[in-house]
Amino acid sequence: MKTILAILLVGAVMTWRAAAQETATMGATENPAMAGNLFRNGDMSNGTMGWQGDRTFATDDDNRVLVVKAKKNSEQAFSQSIKTDKLKDVIFKFRYKTADYKGRGLELRVRRNDGSSTYRDQELTADGKWHDMTWNFSQVRDHANVVFVITVKEGQGTVLFDDIIAVEKKESASQ
């Protein structure tokens, strides 16, 4: 009986390892959604690299994600700086998932070098499913760098984030 259990356990661990390795390889080199991303480690496949602030990381369905645990009496924020030389407009995209968040939702903020910033508020849907969010941002105002800050406002529960992307918005063909 013990032997059978041991064999099952070894099998499970090996399967898990193979899956984890595949995910890491995909994220590093082959994930087409990450092409042109101004953020480093936008798909969270590369450890803690790039992301500063009140965040941890976890594996969810063999997928590495960034995790924020909301606090009742304080905001929880994480961020990353990107180079925006010569870019007029940037599209920010990410996805989030939460099953149990109750609170005031998110604040998305872009800080410029001169201390000015632009923000928008965003409610969260706590249904345990992934939701996509897009922000067409046209207020870079010729700054060489901006910092993108995601804040989970006061509340309770856990919010997962993944595939955080900033790409240049190409000029459209219309007049």
Whether 108 and 135 have beta carbons less than 8 Å apart is answered as yes
Q: Confirm if 136 and 169 have CB atoms less than 8 A apart.
A: yes
Closest distance to Ca ion from the beta carbon of 43 (Å):
4
List binders of Ca ion among 141-170 (CB under 5 A): 162
DSSP-based helix, strand, coil % in the chain, nearest 5: 20, 40, 40
CA–CA distance from 107 to each of 39, 97, 124 (Å)? 19, 16, 10
66 contacts Ca ion (rule: CB under 5 A): no
Least distance in Å: CB of 64 to Ca ion? Answer: 5
Q: CB under 5 A: which stretch of 31-39, 55-63, 97-105, 118-126 binds Ca ion?
A: 55-63
Of 34, 39, 41, 44, the one binding Ca ion (CB under 5 A) is 44
Stretch in the footprint of Ca ion (CB under 5 A) among 38-46, 47-55, 114-122, 135-143: 38-46
Which CB, 64 or 109, lies closer to Ca ion? 64
Of 65 and 87, the one with the shorter C-beta distance to Ca ion is 65
CB of 107 to Ca ion, least distance (A): 23
Comparing C-alpha atoms, which of 102, 98, 108 is closest to residue 78?
108
Q: Are the C-beta atoms of residues 111 and 161 closer than 8 Å to each other?
A: no
Please report, as ranges, the residues that interact with Ca ion according to CB under 5 A. 43-44, 63-64, 162
